[in-house]
Every structure is written in structure tokens, then in C-alpha cells.
Copies of this chain bind each other. A is one copy, B any other.
Amino acid sequence: MLRKKTISTLLLLLLVTLGWSQSGPTLILTEGGARNLREALGQAPLLDKTFAQTVSEVDAAMLRGIDVPIPKDLAGGYTHEQHKSNFFILQKAGVLFQVTQEEKYAQYVKEMLFAYKDLYPTVDRHPATRSYARGKFFWQCLNDANWLVYMSQAYDCIYHWLPEKDRKTLNQELFRPYADFLSVENPQFFNRIHNHSTWGNAAVGMIGLVMDDDELVQRALYGLDQAVPGDQIRDNDGGLITLPGQNKAGFLAQIDEAFSPDGYYTEGPYYQRYAMYPFLIFAEALANKRPELGIVAYRDSVLIKGVYALLNLTNTEGEFFPINDAQKGMSVRSRELVTAVSFAYHFGQQDASLLSVVALQNRVPLDDTGLSTASAMATGEAEPFTPASILLRDGASGTEGAIGVLRSGDFTLVMKYAKHGMGHGHFDKLSFSYYHGSREVFQDYGAARWVNVEQKDGGGYLTENRTWAKQTVAHNTLVIDRTSQFEANTKTADQFHGEPYLFMADNPRVQLMSAKDREGYADIVLHRTMALLRSDASQAPLVLDLFRVESATGVHTYELPFYFQGEFMQSNFPIEAEAVLRPMGEEYGYQHLWAEAKGTVSEKTATVNWLQDDVFYTWTAAASADDQVTFGRIGANDPKFNLRRDPVFLWQREGEGPTVFASVTEAHGRYSAVTERVESAYSQIKALNILSDSEEYTAVEIIHQDGTTWVFAMANQDSDPNTPHTLAVGGNSIAWTGPVHYSKIDSER
């Protein structure tokens, strides 16, 4: 007994003598990592740059002093922004303490954490009442979880430097109660399969790892064994709190459920980007502190696949496709992707093409992962990252639809036939968008929201997000009977997904994706095929769009919107402008569309030609008698100017039974305002004719101005690559094998 006590005393003495520097952080920055970073300074330029920026940012914040205001404002407002700024800065200050070993940083972290400790017991839930899970320092628990994810890292960096009694104080009076608040006191927030909960899980788990509080870690990994109170069914975005059939929760369940086997996250890249940070930062912490869990390899390394999925869901500027509720402009430059890309490099296969993305980001995380990428870049290992034509399957087992991306040169075609996307989903199955470089030729509207901009309803989702942005007519997909898919019911929509039919990206001359939808409209089967066709005749690919409708009963109104941008040049059919502008309808988004002009298609082929920036575009469609084209503009019933006044044309048809909307869009020519020279102002496509259309087959001919004619034919019910097909077309017949046929035909025909 005596001996044991003596040894303990000696050990204690030893520890006290060696001081804090003998024990370092263990969570994200590790003790060894801090030392390596310190030693690498001056040798890896991007590391030096990030380090210098961080020093200047933190030093400036320290000069301004500590400001921990009583929570009051919504996003964009002062108290919200201040608390947000605090957690970003403190995480950095913690890192600087470890890298520089200057105690002023540790002191700053300590003081601010104590200020929060003093604040914590004095505040109840945030005064703003709009969230389904009101926070403490912020209006929603989500932001409080952000706070804890970052503050855990700051705390970890000074944990071993703090006197035991300070640790005890912070653990008992701030962090453990706060972790309980975000979990047991808010099960409707913590126990969902949702990005909100991922943040909650990571927050609770990370502070648990810092404090060596295994109860919290278990709670984070496996969820609460606690039912959500029955009266909370939906969050304030309309998403379900408990998913149908959901029987697990916690971080591992999030990984299981959130990602498809291809790493796609069902809410779309904007939210995937947001969700990736807690996934990856908690994974990094677990990799460091619980290596036995094997978190990086978990589910066939799906977290790393998720990073690649994100990188492939971008335009040529690295901006994410604005699928579902997404603010445009978010990109691989975001702080979350800075973490993600270095994570994927470090914990993955050291893929040198990721380094070119890091170069674009122009900074690295100050941890082991950033050290890896910065060092590799310093030795010149970067290779170009070329996003691919890719099929990203949706659903935990990859069987619930997909996002298709076709790329050809500077052009990108994106089609959504995935799951609805939960509370942030849009009613836009089979919709597409088309990019020329980073220019949106046919745009997806994205969300009606200015994130964090207080003037716009506190920075949250605007009313028009629901009444406009989510509706079917706000997307480049067919609207039937002026109603949204699933009658705009999220709960119903969430049960279904698009049905992939074909995805072919191997042949650069014919890339194609094709999918069906059977549930969006009752008793109607939609089948859309979109292809990027290349020929020697054109510098740009042709976008072929075949949108079939099989309707069992009755007469329907079909409207297919094309959200083009730029200046209308001409159409080959007469249009009549409205003398007075009226909304196109009263609901399902139509109340937000002004009808500007109406055109009645007079030829078998209808064309619309426009100029966007310095390039001409022409849409060429195979029209039916009595087809109409309405030119519209967003902005009706929008009293607060929450919507962009963007243009659209809607291809309209009324009729019974099956029908097909076939069109070809071509980018061509150029216009310079400096030389005032025009090149190729007109399309090379002279006509598009439907040769055949049935449940079994669809065939069209594309006649070029130079007289050449191409035939595109496909089997609508058999995607087997080995099935032989024969189709009578005019007096001839064409034969081919596999689902698709595309060839130039003799000009004599």
C-alpha cells in the first residue's frame, strides 16, 4: 500500500515537473501531429500560408477581446454571428496554442470557455420560436451542435494544459450539461436520420472523447434509447422526424443510412457538403482516439466515396449542382471541403488528383491531413482532377434511383431521378440542368433563400421556397395538369424514387441517361431519356431530350419548362406578347409565374434561339399540331421580391394517351461586344422529326443544315445490351442490338 502510494506521488510529481507540454491534444490535432506541423513550417508553402492567415485572424480576434452576448438574434443578426464567429476562432486558437506553444492562445481559449460556462446556466431556450428544436446560444439546436463540434476541438487543445479543477468545472458546468441538452433533452433533434442529427451526434461524441466520457461516446455512436415525443412529427422545413421503418439512430446509423454505396447523400450536394464536416471530423477524432472502431474503412470506405461524390457533383468552377434546397455558389472552396479533400487524401489512397482541388482551395486543415496534402503539394505531386460522367445511385443500398451526370468537353448535363431528398427535397423527378462551363444554360432554381442574410426573413427558408422552389413547375421537368408531382406532399414523395433505365457513358459520341417515374402522377408513367451526342459537324454536343408520357386515362395538360437564361433572339413561330401580365395559375408554383407572351407553333419543327453572354443557343423541338409555347417570368405573387426574375419557356400540349416531347438543344457560335462580330448565329439543326413512338420504341431523325441526317432509336422496355431490335421507319426498317441506336443515314432516304 505504502509503495503504491509512493509511486503515485512520484508519478504525479513527474507529471507536474514536466508540465503541460508532455501531454498534447488527441482529438483532431494529435500530440505528434502538432509537433510535425511545427517542424514542417517553412517547408510546405500552403501550410505556411494557412498558418499565417490563421495567426493573423486569431490575433485580430484576440485584440477585439471576448464577446459572449446573451442570445437573442436569428441567423444574420448580431448575437448569432458573434457566437458563430467565437467557435470558429476558438478552434483555430486551440490549434495555434499547440503549434506555436504560446500560452496566450491557451489563455484565450480558457477565458472564452469560462465566459460560456458563466452564460450557460443563465439562459433557457433561445427566445426565437421558429425551430422544432430550439437551441441555447442559437435559435436552433443545429447551430448549438456546430458550436460544440468546434469548441470540442478548442477544448481538446488546452485540455491537458488546464488545471484539473478547471477541467472539472468546464466538464460539469458547461460541456456535460450541454451535451445532455443536445441529446436527451432534444431527442427529436438527436435521434433522427438527418444532417441535423449528424451534427448532434458528432458534437456529443467529440466532447465525449475529449472528456473521456464513454457514455456520451456510446450515445453519439448508437443514438438515444429513447423515443421521440409523439407530438413532434415534422421539423420546421417539413421533414419527418422519424423516418418510416427507422429502427436505429446515432452516428453509425447515419453513415449506414445517409450515404448510398456510391457515396451520394440523398439531400443533394449542398447539404452533403454541410453534413460532411461532422461526418469527417468525428470520423477523424474516432480514427485518432478509437482506432479499433475502424471508422474510415466502415461500409467499404463510404465516407471517402462521399468526398469523391461531392467533387463529381460540381460545375467547371467547382460549384455544386443546386439539387433540392441549395444556395447557388457553394463550392469545393468551402471550409467543409477543405477538411474533406485533405481527409480523403490522407486517410484514402493519396490520390494526387485531389491535390489540384486543394490548390483551388488554397488552404489546408491544420492537422495531420493538411500536413499530408501540403507536403505532397510542396513536392509537386498534384495532378489535374477531371470530374467524370458518373452515375451516383441513391438509397442506402443503391437501389433507390440516381443522379446522372454526363460530361463532354465543356458541357455538363445533370438529371435527377433519385429519392425525393427528405425535408429539403424538391418535387422534380426527371428534371435536368445543363451547363456550358460554369454557365447555366438551363438552370435549376435552387432554394429561395439567402442563407444568413437577416434582411431576408432571418436568413432562413423563405415562404417562396415552399410555394415556388420546391414545386415541379420550377424545374426542367414535365408538369401534368398544372399540379406538382405527388401533389407536393413530401411524405408521399419520400416513399418513392426514380427508376433508372439506362446509363451509358463509355462512348464519347453517345452518352446517355434514361429513367422512368411511375408515382409522381397517378396512373401515368414518365420516361425521360437525355443524351449528349457528338458529331464531327459541331463543336458542341447536342442535347437530345426524349420525354415520353404513357397515360392510361383522360385528357391531360402537359407543360415542359425550359429555364433558359440570357436574351431571346428569335423563334420560328409567331409569339404574341401580353398587354397585361397575369400569374399563370393559383397554386403549385404557377401563381409565381407571369405569362409574358404566347406562341403557337406553326411548323413541324419549333425553334427558339437566344444569346447568353457571348454564346448562341438553339432549342429545336418536334412539335405537334396545336402545341403552344408560353414565355414566362418568375416573380408573380412575390410581395417581398424573394424570387429572381428569371425567364422560362414552357412547351405546352393538351391531349389523350401516350405522347413524346422530343427536342435537341445546341450551343453554337459566338458574339463579341468588342469586335461586334457574329459567328454561327443559327443552329446546325434544320429539323427534328419523330419517326416512331410507341410503348416499345421511340425513334427520331435529326436533320442538319448540311443535309446529313442522323437517326436515334431506342427500345423503351428492354435495356439488355444483347437484345436485337428491328423497327419499321417510313418505308424502311432499321435493325440494331442493345437498347440504343444512333447513326448517320444515307442522304437518299
Contacts and interface: CB of A to CB of B under 8 A. Distances in A.
A35 interface: no
A454 B609 CA distance: 12
A678 B452 contact: yes
Contacts of A580: 580-582
A454 B678 CA distance: 9
B455 A676 contact: no
Q: Which of A328, A638, A674 has the most CB of B within 10 A?
A: A674
A522 to B, nearest CB: 32
A612 to B, nearest CB: 13
Interface stretch (A160-168, A473-481, A512-520, A641-649): A641-649
A453 B671 contact: yes
A453 to B, nearest CB: 6
Q: Which of A333, A455, A675 has the most CB of B within 10 A?
A: A455
B334 A569 contact: no
A569 B639 contact: no
Contact of A567 (B331, B609, B644): B644
Listed from nearest, the 9 A-B pairs whose CB atoms lie closest are A329-B673, A581-B581, A568-B641, A455-B569, A577-B639, A455-B570, A451-B676, A333-B674, A452-B676
Contact of A76 (B453, B597, B675, B681): B681
A562 interface: no
B331 A456 contact: no
Contacts of A568: 640-641
A81 interface: yes
Interface in A423-458: 450-456
Given A450-B671, A452-B678, A645-B645, 15 more contacts: A76-B678, A327-B676, A333-B674, A335-B675, A450-B567, A453-B678, A454-B678, A455-B609, A455-B681, A456-B569, A570-B640, A576-B639, A581-B581, A597-B641, A645-B647
Interface in A638-670: 638-641, 644-645, 647
A635 interface: yes
Nearest to A679: B81
A322 to B, nearest CB: 11
B577 A594 contact: no
B638 A577 contact: yes
Given A567-B644, A611-B453, A681-B453, A675 B334 contact: yes
Copies of this chain, whole number: 2
Interface residues of A, number: 54
A567 B646 CA distance: 12
Nearest to A581: B581
A575 interface: yes
A677 interface: yes
A633 interface: yes
A330 interface: yes
Interface of A: 76, 81, 327-331, 333-335, 450-456, 459, 567-570, 575-577, 579-583, 594, 596-597, 609, 611, 631, 633, 635, 637-641, 644-645, 647, 671, 673-678, 681
A611 B450 contact: yes
A453 B641 contact: no
Contacts of A581: 580-581, 594
A567 B450 CA distance: 10
A597 B637 CA distance: 11
Contacts of A639: 575-577, 597
Nearest to A84: B677
28 contacts: A76-B678, A327-B673, A329-B673, A329-B674, A331-B674, A333-B674, A334-B675, A450-B567, A450-B569, A451-B676, A453-B569, A453-B681, A454-B681, A455-B569, A455-B570, A455-B609, A455-B681, A456-B569, A567-B644, A568-B641, A570-B640, A575-B639, A577-B639, A580-B580, A581-B581, A581-B594, A631-B641, A645-B645
B611 A633 contact: no
A672 to B, nearest CB: 8
Contact of A330 (B333, B583, B674): B674
Nearest to A647: B645
Contacts of A335: 675
Nearest to A582: B580
A575 B641 CA distance: 10
